[in-house]
Amino acid sequence: MKILVGVKRVLDYNVKARVKADKSGIELANVKMSMNPFDEIAVEEALRIKEAGNAEEVIVVSIGPSQSQETIRTGLAMGADRGILIETDDLLEPLAIAKLFKHVVEKESPGLVVLGKQAIDGDNNQTAQMLSALTGMAQATFASKVEFDGDHLNVTREVDAGLETIRVKSPAIVSTDLRLNEPRYAKLPNIMKAKKKPLEIIPVADTGVDVSVGLSVVEVNEPPEREAGVIVSSVAELVEKLRNEAKVI
């Protein structure tokens, strides 16, 4: 069985996003970019499934500009077998991303697709669900545990009131939540080896997929700022202020 893993190149989670002066988006020039943290968890899960003997090949897929090759190389250095870059300089909406993933699914026929539950830039939390809807493959989002049982998977999911377990039939699409695993770091020899692993680059136009969508970003603004507060000197003062000034208790 093959496992397909989505790896998106995003602004590093430690870097504070700055809105561009012309309100067209976020300043991405000369800032640290990294693999979306949920995708690191996705790669790790795929590797563990392979190491447990439940898969033969892990393929990391990224959709984005040429620099996304670095993100793919990171996945290969963690241990994935090969990479696919669907190259585009456009920022694509999840519907278009899901259609492009569907295109790869049709070519590769994976038994499992693992995506992150959300990309920390767009914060959409859509792609896995859309891909499931478009391909008809079963959906198991927000996974905190994945267990194989023949041609089924038992997936424990993080939901608002706790945890829920569902059973889905392979081939399936899983999206990762934070507690699924702790991703490994790529070791130096593996980073060297990763440079030799196959990485196929497909221009988005060659896929034949229509990536136009009916949603556009009009402008991007700074969020409202909070006014500065005060430092209180004691618990007594805090309680007094909450009671008489803020009137919230």
Partner 1 sequence: MSILILAEHEGGALRPATLNVVAAAKAIGGDITVLVAGHNAGDVATAAGQIDGVSKVLHCDDAAYEHELAENLSALVLSIAESYTHVMFAATAAGKNVMPRVAALLDVSAISDITDVVSDDTFIRPIYAGNAMATVKSTDKVKVIGVRTTSFEAGAESGGSAAIESLAAVAASDLVSFVGQELSKSDRPELTSADIVISGGRGMQSGDNFVMIDEIAAKLNAAVGASRAAVDAGFVPNEYQVGQTGKVVAPNLYIAVGISGAIQHLAGMKDSKVIVAINKDEEAPIFQVADYGLVADLFDALPELSKALDG
Ligand X SMILES: Cc1cc2nc3c(=O)[nH]c(=O)nc-3n(C[C@H](O)[C@H](O)[C@H](O)COP(=O)(O)OP(=O)(O)OC[C@H]3O[C@@H](n4cnc5c(N)ncnc54)[C@H](O)[C@@H]3O)c2cc1C
- Tell me the two tokens of residue 9: 């190149």
Among 121, 184, 199, 201, binds ligand X (CB under 6 A): 121
Q: Which of 177, 123, 130, 127 is nearest to 10 (CA)?
A: 123
| CB closer to partner 1, 30 vs 216 | 216
The one segment of 72-80, 132-140, 212-220, 233-241 that binds ligand X by CB under 6 A: 212-220
- Which are the contacts of 244, defined by CB distance < 8 A and separation ≥ 6? none
Among 75, 79, 94, 171, binds ligand X (CB under 6 A): 94
Q: Which of 8, 123, 126 is nearest to 67 (CA)?
A: 8
> What is the β-pairing status of strands 199-203 and 82-87?
parallel
Q: Binding mask 190-219 vs partner 1 (x if CB under 8 A, - otherwise)?
A: -----------------------xxxxxxx
Please report how the helices 127-135 and 94-108 are oriented relative to each other, as an axis angle in degrees rounded to 10. 50
| CB closer to partner 1, 35 vs 98 | 98
User: 248 contacts which partner out of ligand X, partner 1, none, CB within 5 to 8 A by kind?
Assistant: partner 1
Q: Does 246 bind partner 1 (CB under 8 A)?
A: yes
Could you say which residues in the range 170-199 bind ligand X, by CB under 6 A? Answer: none
Query: Distance of CA 34 to CAs 120, 200, 224, Å?
Result: 11, 20, 27
Contact 78, 44 (CB under 8 A): yes
Q: What are the backbone angles phi and psi of residue 98, rounded to the nearest 5°?
A: -65, -40
Q: Does 162 bind partner 1 (CB under 8 A)?
A: yes
- Prior bond of 171 cis (ω within 30°): yes
Q: Does 21 bind partner 1 (CB under 8 A)?
A: no
User: 91 contacts which partner out of ligand X, partner 1, none, CB within 5 to 8 A by kind?
Assistant: ligand X
| CB closer to ligand X, 210 vs 225 | 210
What does the angle CA 203 – CA 206 – CA 208 come to, to the nearest 5 degrees? 130
- Nearest-approach distance from CB 45 to partner 1, in angstroms: 16
User: 180 contacts which partner out of ligand X, partner 1, none, CB within 5 to 8 A by kind?
Assistant: none
Q: State the Cα–Cα distance between residues 190 and 89, nearest whole angstrom.
A: 29
| CB closer to ligand X, 26 vs 163 | 26
Could you say which residues in the range 95-114 bind ligand X, by CB under 6 A? Answer: 96-97
Could you say which residues in the range 86-115 bind partner 1, by CB under 8 A? Answer: 93-95, 98
User: 111 contacts which partner out of partner 1, ligand X, none, CB within 5 to 8 A by kind?
Assistant: none
